[in-house]
A = this chain, B = another copy of it.
């Protein structure tokens, strides 16, 4: 059986380039004891993938020559692990390839009937990131003002909606009129700011007449600076990502307004969804209910074909992505 893989062969500088990857067709390795053969169905493309490609972070850097790392779901085609059998739907770090041979210990089974697209959109790592980032790190209180950046992104769009469900006044910052319209008119954000058209600081100031209690940061950079300047007493800034900086080609300046954290006794705190996986059971039933009640909407940006992954991932950084970005590699069973 022939596998198709994208291997990372160079460290990206700025956006990913075609020459950072190599397409290889090669035999699928045979299974060792405890291994599982998985056919990839969907690969999740996430901003953090860019970090993995260049830096030691919360995970090792991806070694050059290896299959590009990526979270994915797939279907078991063959198994030498007692916990898995043909036909099981599994998730794990399958990588950018058509077939993955994984140790069963690194895979987890999804319950039968899990709808796979919503799994990436709301009920998986994206939904948990938004849920725990806002409620556990952000500690939102009824009536507070919540600002979220990358608000039309997979995480941001959920953060704003959960904020509304939980009684916050919500302002979203996004990079196009289309995105702003979507979050305001369809997702119910109170206000949307197009940072490519408006000066963020005055726009935020006008949008948040009572200041900012929670700034859910997905981008870092200038928008973080503007938000800092408007923080209220005992504000919270969950740091979810710094997408504006992942493709920077030199050192990035941090926020000039950091001293504002002192004046307002505010807190800035980084978090990773991986820490919350053991608590998924607190979030999933609520997220599922909101989804079924139509109170949580999401959009998926599905790219058809593994061959398009290297270019598609740049959509996360060039502003063209809206909603959860996924590569479809093969058909759902």
Contact = CB atoms under 8 A, between A and B. Distances in A.
Interface of A: 57-58, 220, 225, 239-242, 245, 251-272, 275
A130 to B, nearest CB: 15
A177 to B, nearest CB: 29
A23 B271 CA distance: 52
A268 to B, nearest CB: 5
Nearest to A252: B256
5 contacts: A225-B254, A240-B262, A242-B258, A242-B259, A265-B269
Contacts of A252: 256
Nearest to A240: B262
Nearest to A254: B254
B270 A266 contact: yes
A81 B1 CA distance: 94
Contacts of A275: 265
Q: Binding site of A, secondary structure by majority: helix, strand, loop or mixed?
A: loop
A267 B236 CA distance: 10
A251 B256 contact: yes
A116 to B, nearest CB: 28
Contact of A258 (B240, B254, B262, B264): B254
Contact of A266 (B240, B254, B269): B269
A256 B245 CA distance: 10
Q: 3 tightest CB-CB pairs across the interface, nearest first?
A: A254-B254, A262-B270, A261-B270
Nearest to A237: B268
Contacts of A271: 262, 265
Contacts of A255: 254, 258
B270 A265 contact: yes
B268 A261 contact: yes
A235 to B, nearest CB: 10
Contact of A268 (B220, B240, B251, B268): B268
Contacts of A270: 259-267
A264 B275 CA distance: 11
A259 B218 CA distance: 11
A257 B242 CA distance: 11
A57 B263 contact: yes
Contacts of A265: 269-272, 275
Nearest to A57: B263
A263 B220 contact: no
Contacts of A263: 57-58, 270, 272
Given A254-B256, A255-B254, A256-B254, A272 B261 contact: no
